[in-house]
Amino acid sequence: MGENLSVEPLTTNIGARLDGIDIRDISAGQAEAIRNALDEHGVIVFSGQQAGLEDQKRLAEVFGPLEPLPTLKFLGWEPVLVVEDIVKGRRDRPASMQWGEHQGWHTDSTFTAQVPRIAVLRPEIIPPTGGGTSWTSLCAAYDDLSQEMQNWLSGLRATHAEPPGYREAIGLRDKPADVQRAFEEAFPPLSHPIVIRHPRSGRRALFVNPTYTVKIEGLSHKESRHILNFLFNHIAQSDFVYRHRWRDGDIVVWDELVTLHLAPDDYAPHKRRVVRVTAGLETPTAAVAG
């Protein structure tokens, strides 16, 4: 890939490790190679980095201007989110966050008209056990479907809505009533195409997730539930998943359009702290059948 940058695939369908680069000093040629690697692999891992928050921000800016999630921007948040959690047990979390099976897989904020283009994650406190992050490829999941199913899904749209517990998680419940009403007006449930086309690579991908996708338009609730459950289970198959065990010096970038991610709460009773930076905003675009 030029400029001494090497790319090592981590699984058959998703993830690659990029070596030979110091993210504190990224050249124009390396920036384009990084973008191309993300287009191809969906998730890219940098190891052994001596990087801080400002370096993390500059890496995110390789893909576009820094942007918080639309809902967090509404509340005045910055593009940087620090997630710190101590899990004593599953009952410490709200029922909506006690993930099991395929639940918990998501792309950030798909109930908004635009979604983040990419996210960059850097660990600050790594628990001695557990605390990893998993990603699954929505491109590989789409490619694995039959031609007939691909064509049928390409003509459908699905409704996305905020899940139970979301407002508590972002602190909206503590805001004045007029702010809460304004939030509801700004972010009502909305629909996205079930099959989208990646804006750079042109690859097709499923665009549903069990956290935010609630119903397929035009189908009965029963029909929609069965089809969505099939898709959610299909997406979560191990063939499409990369599981990352965090180490000091790791930084991971992922494409928010064509991957889902999941962070199991499997590190009790230890602390975990990660810093996420998001960049760019993209409107999911339907892929034409055929």
Q: What is the 3-state secondary structure (H, E, C) of the chain?
A: CCCCCEEEECCCCCCEEEECCCCCCCCHHHHHHHHHHHHHHCEEEECCCCCCHHHHHHHHCCCCCECCCHHHHHCCCCCEEEEEEECCCHHHCCHHHCCCCCCCCECCCCCCCCEEEEEEEEEEECCCCCCCEEEEEHHHHHHCCCHHHHHHHHCCEEEECCCCCHHHHCCHHHCCHHHHHHHHHHCCCEEEECEEECCCCCCEEECCCCCCEEEECCCCHHHHHHHHHHHHHHHCCHHHEEEECCCCCCEEEEECCCEEEECCCCCCCCEEEEEEEEEEEECCCECCCC
Q: Determine the pLDDT at residue 289.
A: 65
6-277 has CATH 3.60.130.10 classification: yes
Where do the domains of the chain lie? 6-277
φ, ψ of residue 30 to 5 degrees: the values are -65, -35
Residues marked active site are found at: 106, 108, 261, 276
Residues 72 and 41: their CA atoms lie apart, in Å, by 28
> Given this model, what pLDDT does residue 196 score?
98
Region at 202 (left for phi over 0; alpha for psi -120 to 50; beta for the rest) = left
Residue 87 pLDDT? 53
Distance CA 231, CA 158 (A): 12
Per-residue model confidence (pLDDT) at position 101: 38
Report the chain's terminal Cα–Cα distance, integer Å.
32
pLDDT tens digits in sequence order for the chain, 290 residues long: 446 789 999 999 999 999 999 999 999 999 999 999 999 999 999 999 999 999 999 999 999 999 999 999 998 988 898 887 665 444 444 433 433 434 589 999 999 999 999 999 999 999 998 999 999 999 999 999 999 999 999 999 999 999 988 888 888 888 999 999 999 999 999 999 999 999 999 999 999 999 999 999 999 999 999 999 999 999 999 999 999 999 999 999 999 999 999 988 888 888 999 999 999 999 999 997 65
Check residue 131 and give left, alpha or beta (phi > 0: left; psi -120 to 50: alpha): left
Side-chain-side CA neighbours of 2 within 13 Å: the count stands at 11
Does residue 118 contact residue 64 with C-beta atoms inside 8 Å? yes
* pLDDT of 43: 99
